[in-house]
Amino acid sequence: MSDDDREVARLWKINRTIHELVRDRGYEVADEDVSMDLQNFKDTFARNGLVDRTSLNFFTYDPHDPSNQIFVFYADEKNVGIKTMKKLISILEEKKIGNGVLIYSHTMTPACRKVIVQMAHVYRLQEFAESDLLVNITHHKLVPKHEILSPEEKKMLLERYRLRETQLPRIMLTDPVSRYYGLRRGQVVKITRPSETSGRYASYRIAF
């Protein structure tokens, strides 16, 4: 296999994972975008044996709230700087999209990460290195099922067990699973694990 073939196969895996991630967050994703095999990916995106990363960009919406949209943006430069961030924000502004995911191949400058923090009051931006998306971590046998509770479900949980938020175990926003689901501070996840005695059991954690 040539270096170009390996690169195409690598981007195919990344493209599949990011579509699974977006779907698992509740956004509309076509089945064929998740199940696309390598040959179809090559036929669709590879030109002269190479993939133009910008051709992988896409946006979609929450079917329960079409105004809630997300845009996935592949940086076309290895070392992402302010120029790329401005380009992404310009697209979000033009299309009136509030959520953006930036995927980069090598490095991202500290200044770019500062932009993500500074723009948090306007846009919800998240970044992933391509290497983070080669494998979907939620498919690993050691990662239990995670479900994000709605605000109503969170309220019912706290009332049922007479708990305050501060009494719940925590899950860090930097945890790989938190990043996968795009958890926000204060959200509660239900984690279901197998149990030898009861079949399975659930625990709850709050994002911080």
Give the pLDDT band of residue 118 (cuts 50, 70, 90): very high
Give the pLDDT band of residue 161 (cuts 50, 70, 90): very high
Residue-by-residue DSSP string for 74-112: E-SSSEE-HHHHHHHHHHHHHHT--EEEEEESSEE-HHH
Amino acid at 92: L
Q: Nearest CA to 185 among 172, 195, 204?
A: 172
What is the C-alpha to C-alpha distance for residues 29 and 63, in angstroms, rounded to an integer?
A: 10
Contact 90, 59 (CB under 8 A): no
Tokens of 71: 């845009």
Strands of the sheet with 188-195, listed across from one edge: 145-148, 188-195, 199-207, 170-171
- Whether 195 has a pLDDT exceeding 80, the answer reads no
**Domains parsed from the chain with CATH numbers:** 3-134 (3.40.1340.10), 138-207 (3.90.940.20)
Q: Tell me the per-residue pLDDT of 33-73, one tens digit each, with 9 for 90 and over.
A: 999 999 999 999 998 889 999 999 999 999 999 999 999 99
Mean pLDDT of the chain: 95
Give the pLDDT band of residue 138 (cuts 50, 70, 90): very high
Count of CA atoms in the C-beta half-sphere (13 A) of 198: 5
Considering the entire predicted model, what is its pTM? 0.92
